[in-house]
Chains A and B, each alone.
Chain A
Amino acid sequence: MITKGKEIPTYEELEVQDVALSSPFLKAGALHMGKQCEAENNEFMLCRMEEKDPRKCINEGKVVTSCAMKFFQVVKRNCAQEFYNFAMCLDRGSQDMSYDFCRKTQTIFDDCMKEKAGIERPGYGYFCEPRIHETKRPQPMPEPPPVYPDALVEPPSDDIPRQPSKYQGRPIFF
């Protein structure tokens, strides 16, 4: 359970307007959004993987959400109808919302985004490629080994004089 000594941010600190879109719309805009918010996303995911603590990546997460909100506002201003058609095609085209059955509407949406918003669709499999992210956030250091005050004293091992063996050593492998 959660003790009183554990710092948890208040509701006000966590209150952000979330992207209120359903999955076909998110999937329709995913690739453009990922390209547009690439730096923010990578920063957040790096923070999350390194810190392993959701409390320390709240601000990065808010930046990610606001970037996504901004992107979808741009889409709504410029290519609302094309975006809607593409998302509806994804929703009704197949069970797993495959892009394969919606190439026509996707092309129309991509062209619209390129012309009006100036956002180009990233290449095939762009987000599956590993790439290096530059960040200013310091890397968290691993925890130092524990020091116990009542630990036993290590026996002296190095200062014992050791003689070279009188006879030949025993062979190891046979």
Chain B
Amino acid sequence: MSGTTVKQDLPPPGGYKPINYLRVPAKTYFSGVQMFVLFNVITFGAIYIWSYSAERMRKLRTEDRSARLALQPMLFAEKDRLYLKRMRSLRDEEEELMKGVPGWVVGTYWGEPIYHTRPENEWHDITPTEYLAHSPHYKQQYMVNFYKWL
């Protein structure tokens, strides 16, 4: 114990360096006015470009809609005729299928109609299941899943 020498921790010769307490600001690339101007140029320039192309696309969409509306009556006329043909063929099919069943009335459930209080000749649409009642199952699947192809 007595042979050990103790080295006192002391400042280096000449003393410690002065503490660096001054701020070191980051390097500035733009001044405030420049940044303000740049922000506004980019923002309003983009708004101008966006509104220009949005207006152009709106015009194109209007033109497309115009063509579609012009075609609509012709397509609806075809569709209505096909629909009525389909309804007649469905009724004929049911009549043919159930002709040997006593007590069955076509278009009803053993003589019980869907609507009791409405006149029989009144128009009502049929459901998709009824529309494809005498079709193979894959037709129904195709109709249900058709939107996935779009």
A binds B: yes
Binding site for B on A (CB under 8 A): 1-11, 14, 16, 18-19, 26-27, 30-31, 33-35, 37, 40-42, 44-45, 48, 52-55, 57-58, 60-62, 64-65, 68, 96, 98-100, 124-128
Q: How far is the CA of A123 from the CA of B52 in the complex (A)?
A: 22
Contact A98 B66 (CB under 8 A): no
Contact pick for A26, options B71, B88, B105, CB 8 Å: B71
- Specify which chain A residues have a CB less than 8 angstroms from the CB of B105 in the assembled complex: 3-4
Contact B71 A5 (CB under 8 A): no
- Specify which chain B residues have a CB less than 8 angstroms from the CB of A126 in the assembled complex: 66
Contact A61 B70 (CB under 8 A): no
- As a 0/1 sequence over residues 76 to 118 of chain B, the CB contacts with chain A under 8 angstroms (1 = contact) are 1110110111011011001000000000011110000110000
Q: How far is the CA of A31 from the CA of B65 in the complex (A)?
A: 11
Q: Can you name the residue of chain A whose Cβ is closest to the Cβ of B95?
A: A4
Contact B63 A45 (CB under 8 A): no
Please list 20 pairs of residues, one from A and one from B, whose beta carbons are closer than 8 Å in the complex, sorted by A's number.
A1-B133, A3-B107, A6-B107, A6-B121, A14-B84, A33-B70, A34-B69, A41-B70, A45-B76, A55-B84, A58-B84, A61-B77, A100-B60, A124-B63, A125-B63, A125-B65, A126-B66, A127-B65, A127-B70, A128-B69
Question: 18 more A-B contacts (CB under 8 A) besides A1-B126, A37-B74?
Answer: A1-B106, A1-B107, A2-B106, A3-B107, A6-B120, A8-B91, A30-B67, A33-B70, A41-B72, A44-B77, A45-B72, A48-B76, A54-B83, A61-B77, A61-B78, A65-B77, A125-B63, A125-B66
Contact pick for B60, options A9, A68, A99, CB 8 Å: A99
Q: Can you name the residue of chain A whose Cβ is closest to the Cβ of B60?
A: A100
What secondary structure prevails in chain A residues at the interface with B? helix
Contact pick for B62, options A34, A48, A128, CB 8 Å: A128
Q: Known: A16-B81, A26-B71. Is A61-B121 also a contact (CB below 8 A)?
A: no
Contact A61 B126 (CB under 8 A): no
Contact B84 A2 (CB under 8 A): no
Q: Can you name the residue of chain B whose Cβ is closest to the Cβ of A97?
A: B64
Q: How far is the CA of A10 from the CA of B88 in the complex (A)?
A: 8
